[in-house]
Structure 1
Amino acid sequence: MTPEVHPEWSERPTLLRRLDGARGLRLILLSAPAGSGKSALVTQWLAADQDRPAAWVTAERGLNAGDALWDALARAASTALPGMDDLRKHHRGPPLPRLITGLAALEQPVALVLDDLHTLGDPDCLRSLEFFIDHLPPTTQLVLITRTEPALPLPQYRMAGDLLELRMADLAWTREEAATMVHRLSGMLLHDADLDRLLDATEGWTIALRLAALSLRISDDPVEFVAEFSGTHRLIADYLHEEVLESVAPELRRFLRRISVLDRFTAPLCDAVAGTANAVTLLQVVERANLFLVPLDDHRRWYRLHHMFAQALRADLADAEPDAVAQSHLRASDWYAGHGLILEATEHARESGALGHLTRLFEANWMEYVSTGRLDLVQSWMDSTAGGRGDGDPVAAVCAAWLAALSGDRSATRHWVRIATTLQHEGPLPDGSPSLRFAVNLLRALFGYDGVPAMVESGWIACELEDDPTSRWYAPSRAGLAYGMYLMGDDKGALAFAAEAAQSGASWPPFRIMSLSVLALALCGLGRAAEAGEPARAAYGLSEAHGYSESPHAALPVAALSTVLAREGRPADARSLLEHALALRGAVVGLSGWPTLNLLTALADTCLDAGDRGAASAYLVQARHLLATEQDSGEHLRTKLAHVHARLTHLLPADPAKGTVLTDILTVREQAVLRLLLENLSVREIGLQLFVSPNTVKTHTRSIYRKLGVTSRAEAVQLVRHLRLL
Structure 2
Amino acid sequence: MTVISAPAGSGKTSLLHAWADRRRQDRRIAFLSVKPVQHDAQLFWLALLGAVRAVTGGAEPPPPAPGFNGQAMVDKVLSELAAYGGPFVLIIDDLHELTSAEANEQLTALLTNLPADVHAIVATRRDPPLRLHRLRLAEELAEIRAPQLRFTEDETRKLLTAAGITLPDPVVATLYQRTEGWAAGLRLAVLSLVGHPQPERFVAEFSGSDRTVAEYLMAEMLDRQPPEVQRLLLRTSLLDKVNGELADLLTGAAGSERILLDLEDANAFVVSLDPTRTWFRYHHMFSGLLRLELRRTVPGHVPELHRIAARWFADHADTAEAIRHLQAAGDWTEAARLLTDHALSLTLDGRAATVAVLLHTFPARIGEDFPGLALVHAIADLDQVHLDQADAHLDVVRAYAETTPSDRQYRLRTAIATLDLLSARLRGHFDSVFEQVDALPSPAAGQSNADVALGDDLRAIVLLNLGVTEAWSLRLAESEKHLLEGAALARAIGRPYLEVACLAHLGFAATGHSFALARQHCEDAIAQAARHGWDTEAVIAPAHAALAEILILTGEFDHGEEWLERARRATQAGGEPGIRLLIHLIAAIPPAARGRHREALTELLAAGQVRAQMAGKHALTSQVTGWTIATQVRLGNVDQARATLATVDDELVTAGEIRNAAAVIHLAEHDPAGARRELRPVLGGGVPVNSYLTLIEAHLLDALACRDLDDERAARAAVERALHLAEPDRLILPFAMTGAWELLTALPPQGTSHTALVADILDTVHGNSLSHAAVPGPSEDLSPSELRVLRYLPTNLTRPEIAAELSVSLNTVNTHIRRIYAKLAATDRSAAVQRARDLRLLSAGRA
What interval of TM-score do these two structures reach, taking the shorter chain for normalisation? 0.7 to 0.9
Instruction: Establish whether residue 240 from structure 1 lines up as the match of residue 217 from structure 2.
Output: yes
Query: What is the DSSP-based 3-state SS (H/G/I as helix, E as strand, rest coil) of the residue aligned with 1:51?
Result: coil
Asked whether the equivalents of residues 622 and 658 of structure 2 are also in contact (C-alpha less than 8 Å), the reply is: no
The amino acid of 1:438's aligned partner reads A
Number of aligned residues: 644
TM-score with structure 1 length normalisation?
0.73
The amino acid of 1:327's aligned partner reads E
CA displacement 1:456-508 (0-9 Å, x = unmatched): 12124449659869833331121112233344454443333222210122365
Query: What is the DSSP-based 3-state SS (H/G/I as helix, E as strand, rest coil) of the residue aligned with 1:277?
Result: coil
The amino acid of 1:538's aligned partner reads D
Deviation at 1:283, TM superposition (A): 1.5
Distance 1:78 1:211 in 2: 37
Distance 1:381 1:335 in 2: 21
Q: How does 1:650-669 map to 2 (within 5 A)?
A: 658-659=636-637
Among 92, 107, 112, the residue aligned to 1:134? 112
Equivalent residue number for residue 146 of structure 1: 124
Asked whether the equivalents of residues 173 and 205 of structure 1 are also in contact (C-alpha less than 8 Å), the reply is: yes
Distance 2:509 2:357 in 1: 35
Distance 1:474 1:609, change over 3 A: farther
Query: What is the DSSP-based 3-state SS (H/G/I as helix, E as strand, rest coil) of the residue aligned with 1:112?
Result: strand
Equivalent residue number for residue 377 of structure 1: 357
CA displacement 1:546-600 (0-9 Å, x = unmatched): 6766666765334543454467554665567558757986975xx7654455556
Distance 2:150 2:653 in 1: 74
Distance 2:98 2:334 in 1: 49
Equivalent residue number for residue 265 of structure 2: 288
Equivalent residue number for residue 69 of structure 1: 44
Distance 1:139 1:360, change over 3 A: same
Instruction: Establish whether residue 29 from structure 1 lines up as the match of residue 6 from structure 2.
Output: no
Distance 1:335 1:287 in 2: 24
Equivalent residue number for residue 39 of structure 1: 13
Which runs of no fewer than 5 residues in structure 1 stay unpaired? 1-26, 664-670, 679-703
Equivalent residue number for residue 513 of structure 1: 500
Instruction: Establish whether residue 524 from structure 1 lines up as the match of residue 506 from structure 2.
Output: no
Distance 1:377 1:95 in 2: 64
Deviation at 1:302, TM superposition (A): 4.2
Equivalent residue number for residue 701 of structure 1: none
Single out whichever of 602-611 and 408-417 deviates more from structure 2: 602-611
Asked whether the equivalents of residues 246 and 309 of structure 2 are also in contact (C-alpha less than 8 Å), the reply is: yes
Equivalent residue number for residue 524 of structure 2: 538
Asked whether the equivalents of residues 29 and 164 of structure 1 are also in contact (C-alpha less than 8 Å), the reply is: yes
Distance 1:55 1:622 in 2: 73
Deviation at 1:382, TM superposition (A): 7.1
Asked whether the equivalents of residues 504 and 541 of structure 2 are also in contact (C-alpha less than 8 Å), the reply is: no
Instruction: Establish whether residue 277 from structure 1 lines up as the match of residue 254 from structure 2.
Output: yes
Distance 2:190 2:453 in 1: 62
The amino acid of 2:665's aligned partner reads R
Deviation at 1:81, TM superposition (A): 1.4
Query: What is the DSSP-based 3-state SS (H/G/I as helix, E as strand, rest coil) of the residue aligned with 2:107?
Result: helix
Distance 2:505 2:547 in 1: 11
Equivalent residue number for residue 81 of structure 1: 56
Deviation at 1:151, TM superposition (A): 0.7
The amino acid of 2:15's aligned partner reads L
The amino acid of 1:724's aligned partner reads I
Deviation at 1:107, TM superposition (A): 1.0
Distance 1:452 1:266, change over 3 A: same
The amino acid of 2:141's aligned partner reads L
Equivalent residue number for residue 84 of structure 2: 106
The amino acid of 1:477's aligned partner reads V
Distance 2:179 2:572 in 1: 42
Among 273, 295, 298, the residue aligned to 1:318? 295
CA displacement 1:169-226 (0-9 Å, x = unmatched): 4334566776777788xx7444355665555444444444444555566866655555
Distance 2:184 2:601 in 1: 67
Asked whether the equivalents of residues 93 and 123 of structure 2 are also in contact (C-alpha less than 8 Å), the reply is: yes
Equivalent residue number for residue 485 of structure 2: 500
Equivalent residue number for residue 12 of structure 1: none
Distance 2:77 2:343 in 1: 70
Distance 1:382 1:658, change over 3 A: farther
Distance 1:102 1:583 in 2: 67
The amino acid of 2:117's aligned partner reads T
Distance 2:10 2:603 in 1: 62
Distance 1:571 1:137, change over 3 A: closer
CA displacement 1:41-98 (0-9 Å, x = unmatched): 323333332433333444347864464433333344334314678999xxx9932222
Distance 1:574 1:386, change over 3 A: farther
Distance 1:291 1:459, change over 3 A: same
Equivalent residue number for residue 238 of structure 2: 261
Distance 2:389 2:196 in 1: 51
CA displacement 1:218-264 (0-9 Å, x = unmatched): 86665555554432233332333233322210000111112222334
Asked whether the equivalents of residues 418 and 458 of structure 2 are also in contact (C-alpha less than 8 Å), the reply is: no
Equivalent residue number for residue 167 of structure 1: 145
Distance 1:724 1:530 in 2: 34
Which runs of no fewer than 5 residues in structure 2 stay unpaired? 64-68, 444-450, 669-847
Amino-acid identity (%): 24
Equivalent residue number for residue 435 of structure 1: 414
Distance 1:52 1:454, change over 3 A: same
Q: How does 1:538-557 map to 2 (within 5 A)?
A: 538-542=524-528, 556-557=542-543
TM-score with structure 2 length normalisation?
0.64
The amino acid of 1:481's aligned partner reads L
Instruction: Establish whether residue 59 from structure 1 lines up as the match of residue 55 from structure 2.
Output: no
Distance 1:322 1:360 in 2: 26
Query: What is the DSSP-based 3-state SS (H/G/I as helix, E as strand, rest coil) of the residue aligned with 1:29?
Result: strand
